[in-house]
Amino acid sequence: MKWWAGSFFWRTLAVLVIALVASQAATFLLFRQQVQQPRMAMGIGQFVSHLKTIHAALSGLPPGAEREFIERLAEKEGIRVFPAQGHEPGRPAGDRPGMRMFRERIRALFGDDAEVFVRPGSPGEFRVRFRAAGREYWVAFPRNRVERDNIDALLYWMLAGVAIAIAATALIAWRLNRPLARLAKAAEDLGRGGDPAPVPESGPSEVRAVARAFNRMKESLKHEERERTTFLAGISHDLRTPLARLRLDVEMLDQRVEPGTQQGMVSDIEDMNAIIDQFIDYARSEATEAFAPVELSVLARDCARARRARARGCRASSPRRRC
């Protein structure tokens, strides 16, 4: 498994980012279907009706009134109407959704030969050619009369919103992950026998509760360790007094028992004192001495050598192994 797949930070970030992107995509599709396309259809329908009115006016007005109508139309609405003279350069407009709808409407109005053109040098203007009163006319109008809703602007706005939301989500996930990372490090140090500093109780209420519980657990462990140290130290002290008296009694047994027997008794008392010393060392600290490799065979020979006086013929052998 990838390192990021198991990280709380990256999992949280991935879930939130996927949710944000999905919600923005759904918003975009709903806006396009329920708002943008109906508004576009309404605007195109109104402008096609306006073109129909212009066509009817050009078909029925006398020459003098026709000229005045064309001038007023250009002045007030920015729509230029002029007679077509031969073939003028131009190319059909693109097949965007709004233009496709507009082209279908004007073909239904002026015939299947009607087309929308874009003239080189005038990319912000569309042109439509139709016949009225036996004459050919060009109608030039701003393209925003047909393409009023800029879907690209909406898309850029939504992408910017997603980027901002992702940045905010990353910040929130990082703030959630930081106290958990501190808590994990402190728990690892405590498990190795260390004494980590108290974990700051910051972040959301749930994270603060976990940090507070960890700090209480650490203090409880320290309290139990102190009590255990005191208990072991007390036991060790209580055992030394009778052992000292017993050692004195053994020393006073000269010429009453065999020297080997007396030496064995002294060795047993020394072993018990050594065990008590180990208790005291353990009570002082469980980690005062650094860990080091130990030769088990050497340790076994030392133990056998110490017991040789009482257990003659005792031998120890083992493969050389370090632990």
Which residues are within 8 A (CB) of 175 and not within 5 positions of it... i.e. 6 or more apart? Answer: 203
Distance in angstroms (rounded) separating the CA atoms of residues 14 and 28: 21
Q: Is 87 helix (H, G, I), strand (E, B) or coil?
A: coil
Tell the residue number behind the tokens 């992107």, with chain if given.
21
Residues in the chain where the model's pLDDT stays below 50: 1, 287-288
* Confidence (pLDDT) at 287: 46
* Confidence (pLDDT) at 288: 47
Phi, psi of 135 (to 5 degrees): -125, 150
- Superfamily of 24-150 according to CATH: Sensor histidine kinase RisS, periplasmic domain (3.30.450.300)
The total number of residues written for the chain in this structure = 323
**The pairing of beta strand 116-118 with beta strand 135-142:** unpaired
Which residues are within 8 A (CB) of 37 and not within 5 positions of it... i.e. 6 or more apart? Answer: 97
Q: Read off the pTM.
A: 0.45
139: β partners: 81, 128
* Confidence (pLDDT) at 1: 46
* CATH architecture of structural domain 219-288: Orthogonal Bundle (1.10)
pLDDT tens digits, one per residue of 259-311 = 777 788 888 888 888 887 777 776 665 544 555 677 888 778 877 776 665 55
Helix-strand-coil split of the chain, %, nearest 5: 65, 10, 25
Domain map of the chain by residue range?
24-150, 219-288, 292-323
Angle formed by the axes of helices 97-110 and 37-60, nearest 10°: 30
